């Protein structure tokens, strides 16, 4: 369940980015790179950003689960007494 939620977050993040290069006009000056090289570089950068954000999401989820685990242990201790 958690993984499906995080996958949804990753997709939403990728869709929310408006600064990604979507196309390069023919015969435009691109610094000596071909259009395919620019597109590859743009997709690699987009993937790296998504991976970074996904890692941060996992960190936040882990913190939340740790807090929940502590709370449940406290509640169990209270109920056992």
Q: What is the pLDDT of residue 45?
A: 92
Domain-located, residue 58? yes
The answer to pTM > 0.75 is: no
Domain-located, residue 45? yes
Domain-located, residue 43? yes
Tally the domains of the chain.
1
Domain-located, residue 51? yes
Three-state secondary structure call for residue 74: helix
d(CA 76, CA 73): 5
C-alpha pair distances (Å), 45 with each of 20, 54, 64, 76, 77: 9, 14, 29, 47, 48
Domain-located, residue 25? no
Is residue 18 very low, low, confident or very high in pLDDT (cuts 50, 70, 90)? low
Domain-located, residue 48? yes
Q: What is the pLDDT of residue 44?
A: 92
Q: Dihedral, CA atoms, 60, 62, 68, 71, nearest 10 degrees? A: -100
Domain range enclosing 47: 35-81
């Amino acid at each position: 369940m958690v993984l499906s939620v995080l996958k949804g977050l990753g997709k939403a993040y990728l869709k929310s980015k408006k600064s990604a290069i979507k196309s390069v006009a023919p015969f435009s000056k691109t610094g000596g790179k071909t259009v395919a090289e620019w597109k590859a570089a743009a997709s690699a950068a987009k993937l790296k950003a998504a991976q970074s954000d996904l890692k941060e999401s996992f960190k936040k989820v882990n913190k939340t689960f740790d807090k929940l685990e502590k709370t449940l242990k406290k509640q169990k201790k209270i109920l056992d007494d």
